[in-house]
Structure 1
Amino acid sequence: MKIKLFILSITTLLLGASHAQQFIDKGTIEFEVKTNIKKSMGNSSWVAMLKESLPEFKTSYYSYSFANNQSIYTFDRWADGPRLPEFLRRGDESNVWYYNFTDQKMSKQKSVFSSNFVIEDSISNIEWKLTNESRLIAGFNCRKAVGKIMDSVYVFAFYTDEITISGGPCSINGLPGMILGLTIPRLYSSWIATKVIVTKTDEKSITPISGKKKYSYKLFSNTLDERLKEWGGNEDEEDRKWREQLYWNALL
């Protein structure tokens, strides 16, 4: 009898371990994206009156679908509350990110200066430093990593290796698993996974973005520089910060 109980206990433990080691390679993740718009707009005089009529945060929800080591990240809906002005909504609703991690290729559509740009290039590398800090997000154990993008912008991510794709919100990727939590302090923005759905994934929707004209990452960056110079404006500290915010968000 004792031998039977021992064998049963070992079998249960092995089955439990087998279940714990199952990895997810296909699914859909919902992200809540929150940006402090009052801080991101700066403190210049031309926005002082406008800021009084705006909420402190804008909150939206995005969908990240992945299968076959490819992903697409798209806007889903706004959180309940007052409707935001169009200039604060346009980019969020139009932007799309597609990534193919097998071929190391990406394409994304970004709305800037009231125009949609399609960027197609290789996936950029992000240098990451792993830490010992951990956090539970959407039911997954996640480990913290710190990275840097665009030479000077730090990002703080929490990823899980239980989801095998090396992706994340927007263009943030390159960790040994899926990023479920992300903060970029200099953009006053955070991304947090609210749920992971593995029972239904529209694989046909995970396709590269089409467009008549496609920009490389470098050409798009140069185009942004030229447009910002044409736009003019004051050369004070607040104006410089606002331009940086626009530039970083466009390249994200």
Structure 2
Amino acid sequence: MRIKISFPLVCLVGLMLSCQLLQAQYAHFVKQGVVAFEKRVNMYAKIKSRVGSNSFMEQAFEQYRRNNPQFKTFKYRLAFDGDRTRFWPLDDQATPSAGFFGNDPSVDLGNTIVADLLAGQRISQKSVYEQTYLVTDSIRRIQWRITNETREIAGYQCRRANAVVLDSVYVVAFYTDQIPVSGGPESFAGLPGMILGVALPYENTTYFATSVEDRPVTAQELEVPKRGKAVNYGQLRAELEASLKNWGDYAQAILKAMLL
């Protein structure tokens, strides 16, 4: 049986297809701007994993829970211009907390990280207690596995990717190809678009974009940090392992935070 299609219907279908092609052709891709990130750490879960059967730690944990919220929040910015990115903390970045776990360096180190994505190099300013390091090394190569799962973050459609870094840290990332810059928060990069969300489930930590400013960035927003003891990644690891060798299991939490 032959189906007759009216001329107006053919025109309507053609018009819809033309609109879709035009929309794809003129899709706006953001190549410069600043992303606002919120880092959230589930302090109750993080501390609970360290308590074990230590009665002193249990008492400290209960006191912390009575006086502090479950989540500790930090504010960061990520400026990007083509193949250059800079990730840094805001000055007033953390929700106030006190007590035994108030200034745990494994929770947040306030890193500043500048990356040249084209050259595959990065400079990271990291501080633990009184020592500040200026780490120059190559950008970490992460073996991402891209999935079909999507979600919207800060108004952008993002696709999920999974990976494991440092041999044991499971990472869930969400990136958007509407920002064609292969960067992201902290040291997470290497996807075909800007990473706007990162979850570290077993570290009880997330980074999610809250807004994206589509605008030219300033030289100050891409400024390379200069203060700190100059080391590379291998030297940093060796120095930390030597200085923390008598700290027991807690040393591993600090080491992991510094190397992420």
Instruction: Summarize the Cα distance change of 1:212–1:137 in structure 2 as closer, same or farther, 3 Å threshold.
Output: closer
Instruction: Determine the C-alpha separation between the residues in 2 that align with 1:90 and 1:125.
Output: 23
Aligned position for 1:73: 87
The aligned runs of 1:83-162 (5 Å cut-off) are 83-85=96-98, 87-88=103-104, 92=108, 94-162=110-178
Identity of aligned residues (%): 31
Q: Secondary structure at the match of 1:127?
A: coil
Is 1:170 the counterpart of 2:198 in the alignment? no
Instruction: Summarize the Cα distance change of 1:107–1:157 in structure 2 as closer, same or farther, 3 Å threshold.
Output: same
Instruction: Determine the C-alpha separation between the residues in 2 that align with 1:98 and 1:47.
Output: 37
Is the contact between residue 109 and residue 128 of structure 2 (CA under 8 Å) also seen in structure 1? Answer: no
Shift of 1:13: 4.4
Aligned position for 1:49: 59
With structure 2 as the length reference, what TM-score do the two structures score?
0.82
1:19 to 18, 26, 30: 26
The aligned runs of 1:193-212 (5 Å cut-off) are 193-211=209-227
Instruction: Determine the C-alpha separation between the residues in 2 that align with 1:12 and 1:147.
Output: 38
Instruction: Determine the C-alpha separation between the residues in 2 that align with 1:156 and 1:121.
Output: 24
The number of residues matched between the two structures is 241
Is the contact between residue 125 and residue 228 of structure 2 (CA under 8 Å) also seen in structure 1? Answer: no
Aligned position for 1:36: 42
Is the contact between residue 143 and residue 159 of structure 1 (CA under 8 Å) also seen in structure 2? Answer: yes
User: Which amino acid is 2:222 matched to?
Assistant: I
Is the contact between residue 159 and residue 175 of structure 1 (CA under 8 Å) also seen in structure 2? Answer: yes
Instruction: Determine the C-alpha separation between the residues in 2 that align with 1:244 and 1:31.
Output: 26
With structure 1 as the length reference, what TM-score do the two structures score?
0.84
Instruction: Summarize the Cα distance change of 1:202–1:45 in structure 2 as closer, same or farther, 3 Å threshold.
Output: farther
Instruction: Determine the C-alpha separation between the residues in 1 that align with 2:187 and 2:199.
Output: 13
Shift of 1:50: 3.2
Q: Secondary structure at the match of 1:87?
A: coil
1:62 to 68, 76, 81: 76
Which protein has the larger Cα radius of gyration, Structure 1 or Structure 2?
2
Is the contact between residue 66 and residue 203 of structure 1 (CA under 8 Å) also seen in structure 2? Answer: no
Instruction: Summarize the Cα distance change of 1:190–1:90 in structure 2 as closer, same or farther, 3 Å threshold.
Output: closer
User: Which amino acid is 1:61 matched to?
Assistant: K
Shift of 1:60: 1.4
Which has the higher mean CA deviation after the structures are superposed, 111-120 or 37-46? 37-46
Q: Secondary structure at the match of 2:256?
A: helix
Instruction: Summarize the Cα distance change of 1:138–1:59 in structure 2 as closer, same or farther, 3 Å threshold.
Output: same
Which has the higher mean CA deviation after the structures are superposed, 88-97 or 41-50? 88-97
